Amino acid sequence: MAFTYTKTKDTVLGNMRMATGTYTSASASTGGSIVTGLSEISYFNTDCETSQAATVNLVATTNGTVVLTTVANEVGTWIAIGN
């Protein structure tokens, strides 16, 4: 098993949407993609984003997809807010 994620919540906040979930980087995987279900992401964060060196826990967003770079065998939660 490599990088996996789950979306545990999808809710409306005023005129925005919020999606949250968990991710696991297993078997020496160093990240992967999270499809949030949003068409545009205004805010994204994980609970491990500042716990590692500058070369990992990097985030790149394109439309509603997040590419997350992690350390191997990391487990965390994520939150995305957008439209």
CA proximity to 81, closest of 10, 17, 34: 17
pLDDT score at 41: 96
Domains assigned to the chain:
3-82 (2.60.40.3940)
Average confidence (pLDDT) over 51-71: 80
Distance CA 73, CA 3 (A): 9
Banded model confidence at residue 72, pLDDT cuts 50, 70, 90? confident
For the record, the structure tokens of 61 come out as: 């967003």
Q: How far apart are CA 34 and CA 5, in angstroms?
A: 7
Q: Tokens 């999270």 appear where?
A: 34
First to last CA, the chain: 31
pLDDT tens track for 8-54 = 999 999 999 999 999 998 888 888 999 999 999 999 998 875 455 55
Residue 56 in this model has a pLDDT that exceeds 70 = no
pLDDT of residue 52: 57
Looking up tokens 């990240």, which residue turns up? Answer: 31
